[in-house]
C-alpha cells in the first residue's frame, strides 16, 4: 500500500522513531472531523472546477464509506501511516485508486489538522455548557428545597457569620455561570475556518473558502495563513476555561469533604457516591469529591503543557504542535466525567439541618451583629467594634456565650446596651442582611427567582 510520507527516502524508518512520531493512537479520535473537513474540501474543489464533479462525488462516496468502516470497527489503523489524515487518505486510495490522490489538492496536513481540532473543540463546548447547566440546576433545586436552613458562613475557615444554605449553594451557581460564559467566549474564537492556508502560505488554486466554512458550520475564515496553521490559542483558552471550571469543582469538592467529616457533620454523601475502607468498616469516604479535587491537577497540567509547547515556537507549523491533542482529549474526558459525577453528588447529598443550625448558633458568631446594634444606637462602627471585642474577650474568659451575659455585664462595656440586645439571634442576623446580594431570606428568594429565570431564558448563556 502507498505510503506517500516516505516517497523521497531510500531507507525504512527506524521503528522507535516511527512509534515516536505516530499520532494515530490518539488522533484517530478525530476521524469524524477529518472526514467532514475532507468532504467539504472535495465538494468545493468540484464546485470550483479544480477537480471534476464526478471525481468529487467519488471521493465523497469513498469518504462516507470509510467513516462507516471506522464506526463499525472494520478499519485497520496503521502506525506506519503516522496519523489519522494519512490513514484515511491511504484507505481512500485502496478503495478508489488514483482519483483518491486528488483530494489533497490545495491542502496540507497543516491546515487539515487545524480544521480537525477546531471542529472537535467546537463540537465539545455545547455539551459542556449543557453539563454545567445541569450542575447549576442541581444546585438551584437543592437551594430551593432548603430555604430555611442556616449554617455558619466561614472566613479563614473560622465561623464568621450565619448564612442561608441556599445562599451558599448559589455562590457555586454563580461560579458555573461564569464558566459557561468563558466557554462561550472561547467558542467564538475557535469558530474560524483555517482550510485554504495550505502548508503555511495559501494555495495556488481558486478556492472558495467561504463555501468550505459554510459547509462545516464555521462563521468565519482565518485571515492569515501563517497564523492559521500555527495558532493553537483556542486550545490554550479551552484548557484555561476547563482549568477554572475544575478549580470551582475542586473548591466544591473540598467543602463536601470537610462537611462530611464527623467534625462538621453538615452532610452525608449518598451511598451511591461514597466508598468504604478496606480495613475500617465504619468509614464512609467521600472518594468522588476527593477524586474531583485530585483530577483538577491533571487539567492544570494540560494547560501548562500546551502553554509550554507554544512558548518560543517559531512560525509557522512545527511538529511540536502534535502535542496539543492528548492533553486536550484528557481534559475533555476529565471535565465531562467530573461534571457528571458532581451533579449526581449534589442531587443526592443529604444536608443535615440540625448540626448546621447548631454550629451557626455557637461561639461568638453574632459579635458583628452586636457591633451593628451599637452602631444603630449612634456609636461609630470602629468604637463599636472595640466595645464588642472587650465584651467577647470577657465572655470567653468566663466561658459564657453572649446571650448568657447579664444586662449589667453588657452595660459595663457600654451604656447603649438595653434589653433589646437579647433580640440579636441567628435568625435575626440572617434576616438583617437584607441587601441585594446578601443572605437575607427575601434577597435569597429573589436571587433564586433570578437564577431560575436565567436558566430558562433561551439565548442567555447556557439557558436550555
Ligand atoms: N499529526 C500531525 C499533528 O497532529 C498532523 C500534521 C502533520 N503535518 C506535518 N507537516 N507533519 O500536528
Q: Is the pLDDT of residue 362 over 90?
A: no
Number of Cβ atoms within 10 Å of the Cβ of 61: 13
- Confirm if 70 and 124 have CB atoms less than 8 A apart: no
18 versus 283: the higher-pLDDT residue is: 18
pLDDT tens-digit profile of 150-174?
Answer: 999 999 999 999 999 999 999 999 9
Centre of ligand 1 from the C-alpha of residue 109, in Å: 6
pLDDT tens across 281-296, in order? 788 899 999 999 999 9
Instruction: Check pocket membership of 230 for ligand 1, CB cut-off 6 A.
Output: no
For domain 110-205+217-354, give the fold: Fumarase C; Chain A, domain 2 (1.20.200)
Check pLDDT > 80 for residue 458: no
Percentage of the chain modeled with pLDDT above 90: 91
Kindly state the average pLDDT of the residues 93-105.
Answer: 98
Q: 379-398, pLDDT tens digit by residue?
A: 999 999 999 999 999 999 99
Residues 298-317 have pLDDT tens digits of 999 999 999 999 999 999 99
Cell numbers describing residue 279? 480495613
Fold of 366-427: Ribonucleotide Reductase Protein R1; domain 1 (1.10.40)
CB count in 10 Å sphere of residue 164? 27
Say if residue 73's pLDDT is above 60: yes
pLDDT in tens, 167-196: 999 999 999 999 999 999 999 999 999 999
Looking at residue 464, its pLDDT comes to 43
Q: Whose CA is closest to atom 7 on ligand 1?
A: 109
8 Å CB contact between 108 and 198: yes
Q: Tell whether ligand 1 has an atom less than 6 A from the beta carbon of residue 321.
A: yes
Q: Using the atom order of ligand 1, give the atom closest to the CA of residue 325.
A: 4
The DSSP-derived string for 189-208 is HH-EE-TT-TTTT--SS---
Domain 4-105 has CATH 3.40.50.11740: no
Burial class (CB in 10 A: 0-12, 13-18, 19+), 399: exposed
Cβ–ligand 1 contact at 109 (below 6 Å): yes
Domain coordinates of the chain in residue numbers? 4-105, 110-205+217-354, 366-427
Residue 216 near ligand 1, beta carbon < 6 Å: no
Q: Calculate the alpha carbon distances from 29 to 3, 21, 24, 70, 330 in Å.
A: 21, 17, 9, 10, 12
User: 420 CA to middle of ligand 1, Å?
Assistant: 76
Amino acid at each position: 500500500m502507498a505510503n506517500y510520507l516516505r516517497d523521497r527516502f531510500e531507507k525504512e524508518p527506524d521503528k522507535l522513531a516511527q512509534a515516536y512520531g505516530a499520532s494515530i493512537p490518539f488522533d484517530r479520535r478525530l476521524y469524524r472531523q477529518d472526514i467532514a473537513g475532507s468532504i467539504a474540501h472535495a465538494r468545493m474543489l468540484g464546485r470550483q472546477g479544480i477537480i471534476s464533479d464526478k471525481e468529487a462525488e467519488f471521493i465523497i462516496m469513498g469518504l462516507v464509506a470509510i467513516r462507516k468502516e471506522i464506526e463499525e470497527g472494520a478499519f485497520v489503523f496503521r502506525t506506519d501511516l503516522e496519523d489519522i489524515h494519512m490513514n484515511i487518505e491511504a484507505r481512500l486510495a485502496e478503495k478508489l485508486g488514483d482519483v483518491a490522490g486528488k483530494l489533497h489538492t490545495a491542502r496540507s496536513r497543516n491546515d487539515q489538522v487545524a480544521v480537525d481540532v477546531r471542529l472537535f473543540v467546537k463540537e465539545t463546548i455545547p455539551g459542556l455548557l449543557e453539563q454545567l447547566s445541569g450542575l447549576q440546576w442541581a444546585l438551584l433545586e437543592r437551594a430551593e428545597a432548603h430555604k430555611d436552613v442556616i449554617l455558619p458562613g466561614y472566613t479563614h475557615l473560622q465561623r464568621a457569620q450565619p448564612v442561608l444554605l441556599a445562599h451558599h449553594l448559589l455562590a457555586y451557581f454563580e461560579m458555573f455561570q461564569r464558566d459557561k460564559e468563558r466557554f462561550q467566549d472561547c467558542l467564538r474564537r475557535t469558530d474560524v475556518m483555517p482550510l485554504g492556508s495550505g502548508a503555511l502560505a495559501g494555495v495556488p488554486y481558486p478556492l472558495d473558502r467561504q463555501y468550505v466554512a459554510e459547509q462545516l458550520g464555521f462563521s468565519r475564515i482565518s485571515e492569515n495563513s501563517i497564523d492559521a496553521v500555527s495558532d493553537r490559542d483556542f486550545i490554550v483558552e479551552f484548557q484555561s476555561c476547563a482549568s477554572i471550571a475544575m478549580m470551582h469543582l475542586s473548591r466544591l469538592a473540598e467543602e463536601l469533604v470537610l462537611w462530611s467529616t464527623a467534625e462538621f457533620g453538615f452532610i452525608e454523601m449518598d451511598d451511591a457516591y461514597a466508598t468504604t475502607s478496606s480495613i475500617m468498616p465504619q468509614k464512609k469516604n467521600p472518594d468522588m469529591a476527593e477524586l474531583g479535587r485530585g483530577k483538577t491537577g491533571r487539567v492544570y497540567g494540560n494547560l501548562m503543557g500546551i502553554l509550554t509547547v507554544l512558548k518560543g515556537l517559531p512560525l509557522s507549523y512545527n511538529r511540536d504542535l502534535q502535542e496539543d491533542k492528548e492533553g486536550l482529549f484528557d481534559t475533555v474526558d476529565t471535565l465531562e466525567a467530573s461534571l457528571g459525577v458532581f451533579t449526581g453528588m449534589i442531587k443526592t447529598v443529604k444536608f443535615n439541618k440540625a448540626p448546621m443550625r447548631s454550629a451557626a448558633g455557637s461561639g461568638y458568631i453574632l459579635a458583628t451583629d452586636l457591633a451593628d446594634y451599637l452602631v444603630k444606637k449612634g456609636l461609630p462602627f470602629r468604637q463599636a467594634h472595640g466595645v464588642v471585642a472587650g465584651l467577647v474577650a470577657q465572655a470567653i474568659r468566663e466561658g459564657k456565650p453572649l446571650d448568657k451575659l447579664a444586662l449589667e455585664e453588657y452595660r459595663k462595656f457600654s451604656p447603649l446596651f438595653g434589653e433589646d440586645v437579647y433580640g440579636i439571634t441567628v435568625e435575626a442576623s440572617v434576616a438583617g442582611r437584607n441587601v441585594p446580594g446578601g443572605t437575607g431570606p427575601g434577597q435569597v428568594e429573589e436571587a433564586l427567582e433570578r437564577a431560575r429565570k436565567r436558566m430558562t431564558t433561551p439565548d442567555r448563556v447556557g439557558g436550555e
